[in-house]
């Protein structure tokens, strides 16, 4: 590379064009040679095809920077670098933790074991507790269904059969000796394969990590094991937590196997929907629980950021990643969440906050909001979204209109992009990103490369605006609000760390599931789940299952 002072000055100006508005975007045409030179300055080797793929995104990024600069940011606004979603002045109201679940009305074993495949955790737990069925019997039933239907759905990365049978046998022995660990005792489940399990591969759904083993077990898996749960499978995810495409294929939607299950918790939602596991564990950074739960017609909880330890989980965005349950009912989510939440002394972001869930909480005491503009959108979910408001009003709920803070929210997606690129820095620099299945513009290889051109100053500014949004969200003055599952609200609440419950809300014209979401206040999962359960019991859509996989 030439070393003249003039040439170095040109390179610096080219790079600075991504950080400072010297001319308008319309007047700035980013050329391949400029990107090549700027890449050389940061020691990044790119092919001509890779550079050509980046050019539109680099232009889009420059527009995003201009959008952010239109937002006045006072000097006292600090960046959310060490992300903490605890509201200002929040204090514990006292009373300790408690989990009050509903009584079960299914207490007798059906004639056919496989008829249990779609029972809720709450109902299965009663059969286990009363010793009408053993964990080993239940585990073998789910293992058989995984073997039978897993290849069709392409939702399994690793079947943990040996471990599962050991854990099930232990659960049975403990129960026989009088030890009952709780509602998850002996219950089989599956986990998204970005959670490490010692002795098994943890592939992240990506070809470069196909044979990867990690010499630890994720905290979430440990907590479930301590509660007596039985791990039957490590489930598929879109490669590196994007979409439903992984190195083994495309994970299918059980309601329509010609369609992908969405992602990135693709296998977790698909397996739960098809009755291959009693529940599953997924993760969300930006819609990765909400989207596949919607597509597959199951219920998911995205907890408050900082309620569940991510130790042993693949990092995509340290300031946005969250782990949560995917189940067949809201109450099952409460049962699983109660086990996996809380500090482990390793993840510094985890808060020791109480969890108080009562299935029969007086929801009339809650202030419930909704987003009027979002419900007026003319999209494919409009009819079912509108019906949800009618159902709530029919339940006697006085809906309060609320407005979300008005900021360029999608622009702030660069926070995720920058952190993800950092998380997979070595993959990009080594060139092994070429091994990923998806190589289109809207996929990780290109996204990682493009994100390397996000200036540090813009990343900091984005986090400062994020902090401003969090402050304004505290002024909504509602306990919970209802929102369509997709739209600006989805990213905004992932940025602010608010908890969300997504649940089935009917079917579209083609017979596919649709969903609705409820957003709660940070660290108030108990109220959120109780209210969502009341709505779910009123509608009953969670009792519908994909015909191809149901008996």
List the structure tokens of 477. Answer: 């003055």
Q: Tell me, yes or no, whether 104 lies in a domain.
A: no
Of 467, 484, 504, which closes a domain? Answer: 467
**268 and 310 together in one domain:** yes
Query: What is the percent of the chain with per-residue pLDDT over 90, rounded to a whole number?
Result: 78
**412 and 395 together in one domain:** no
Rounded-to-integer distance, Cα 18 and Cα 257, Å: 43
pLDDT in tens, 215-259: 999 999 999 999 999 999 999 999 999 999 999 999 999 999 999
Q: Tell me, yes or no, whether 89 lies in a domain.
A: no
**327 and 283 together in one domain:** yes
**217 and 358 together in one domain:** yes
Q: Tell me, yes or no, whether 330 lies in a domain.
A: yes
Task: Say if residues 309 and 347 touch (Cβ distance below 8 Å).
Answer: yes
Q: Please provide the average confidence, as pLDDT, over all residues in the chain.
A: 91
**417 and 516 together in one domain:** no
**119 and 72 together in one domain:** no
**Does an H or E element contain 157, and which?**
strand 156-159
Q: How confident is the model at residue 23 (pLDDT cuts 50, 70, 90)?
A: very low
Q: Which domain holds residue 72?
A: 5-76+407-467
Residue 253 sits in a domain whose CATH number is 3.90.1300.10
DSSP alpha helix (H) spans, 185-238: 219-226
**63 and 204 together in one domain:** no
Q: Tell me, yes or no, whether 377 lies in a domain.
A: yes
**Does residue 445 carry a pLDDT above 80?**
yes
* pTM (two decimals): 0.89
**194 and 210 together in one domain:** yes
Phi, psi of 104 (to 5 degrees): -90, 145
Q: Tell me, yes or no, whether 218 lies in a domain.
A: yes
**35 and 65 together in one domain:** yes
**135 and 212 together in one domain:** yes
pLDDT score at 20? 40
Q: Tell me, yes or no, whether 98 lies in a domain.
A: no
Domain count, the chain: 2
pLDDT score at 42? 74
Q: How confident is the model at residue 92 (pLDDT cuts 50, 70, 90)?
A: low
List the structure tokens of 79. Answer: 């960046």
Rounded-to-integer distance, Cα 200 and Cα 233, Å: 10
pLDDT score at 31? 84
Q: Tell me, yes or no, whether 135 lies in a domain.
A: yes
**492 and 455 together in one domain:** no
**268 and 226 together in one domain:** yes
List the structure tokens of 530. Answer: 């109780």
DSSP characters for 429-450?
HHTGGGGSS--STTSHHHHHHH
**Does residue 41 carry a pLDDT above 80?**
no
Task: Say if residues 192 and 283 touch (Cβ distance below 8 Å).
Answer: yes
């Amino acid at each position: 590379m030439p070393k003249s002072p003039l040439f170095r000055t040109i390179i610096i100006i080219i790079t600075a064009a991504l950080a400072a508005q010297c001319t308008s975007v319309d007047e700035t045409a980013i050329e391949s040679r400029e990107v090549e030179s700027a890449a050389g300055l940061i020691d990044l080797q790119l092919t001509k095809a890779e550079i050509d793929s980046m050019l539109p995104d680099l232009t889009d990024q420059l527009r995003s920077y201009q959008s952010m600069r239109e937002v006045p940011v006072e000097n006292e606004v600090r960046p959310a670098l060490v992300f903490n979603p605890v509201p200002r002045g929040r204090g514990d109201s006292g009373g300790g933790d408690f989990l009050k679940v509903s009584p079960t009305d299914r207490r007798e074993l059906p004639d056919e074991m496989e008829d249990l495949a779609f029972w809720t955790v709450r109902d299965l737990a009663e059969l286990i507790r009363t010793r009408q069925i053993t964990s080993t019997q239940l585990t073998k039933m789910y293992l058989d269904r995984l073997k039978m239907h897993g290849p069709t759905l392409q939702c399994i990365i690793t079947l943990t059969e040996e471990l599962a049978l050991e854990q099930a046998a232990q659960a049975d022995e403990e129960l026989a000796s009088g030890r009952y660990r709780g509602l998850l005792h002996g219950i089989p489940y599956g986990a998204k394969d970005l959670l490490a399990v010692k002795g098994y591969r943890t592939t992240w759904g990506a070809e470069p990590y196909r044979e990867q083993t990690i010499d630890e077990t994720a905290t979430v898996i440990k907590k479930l094991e301590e509660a007596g749960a039985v791990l039957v499978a490590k489930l598929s995810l879109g490669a590196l937590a994007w979409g439903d495409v992984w190195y083994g294929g495309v994970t299918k939607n059980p309601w329509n196997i010609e369609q992908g299950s969405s992602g990135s918790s693709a296998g977790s939602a698909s397996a739960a929907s098809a009755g291959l596991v009693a529940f599953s564990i997924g993760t969300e950074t930006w819609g990765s629980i909400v989207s596949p739960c919607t597509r597959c017609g199951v219920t998911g909880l995205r907890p408050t950021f900082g309620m569940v330890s991510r130790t042993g989980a693949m990092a995509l965005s340290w300031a946005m990643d969250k782990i949560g349950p995917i189940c067949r009912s809201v109450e099952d989510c409460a049962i699983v969440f109660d086990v996996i939440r809380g500090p482990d002394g390793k993840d510094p972001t985890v808060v020791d906050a109480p969890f108080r869930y009562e299935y029969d909480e007086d929801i009339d005491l809650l202030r419930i909001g909704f987003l009027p503009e979002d419900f007026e959108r003319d999209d494919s979910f409009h009819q079912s979204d509108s019906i949800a408001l009618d159902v709530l009003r029919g339940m006697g709920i006085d809906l309060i209109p609320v407005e979300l803070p008005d900021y360029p929210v999608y622009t702030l997606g660069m926070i995720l992009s920058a952190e993800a690129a950092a998380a997979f820095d070595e993959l990009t620099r080594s060139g092994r990103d070429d091994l990923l299945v998806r190589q289109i513009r809207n996929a990780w290889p290109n996204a990682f490369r493009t994100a390397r051109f996000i200036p540090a100053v813009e990343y900091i500014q984005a986090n400062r605006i994020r902090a401003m949004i969090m402050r304004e969200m505290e002024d909504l003055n509602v306990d919970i609000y209802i929102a369509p599952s997709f739209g600006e609200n989805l990213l905004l609440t992932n940025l602010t760390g608010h908890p969300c419950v997504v649940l089935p809300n009917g079917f579209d014209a083609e017979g596919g599931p649709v969903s609705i979401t409820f957003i709660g206040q940070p660290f108030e999962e108990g109220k959120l789940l109780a209210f969502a359960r009341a709505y779910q019991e009123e509608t009953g859509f969670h009792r519908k299952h994909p015909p191809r996989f149901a008996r």
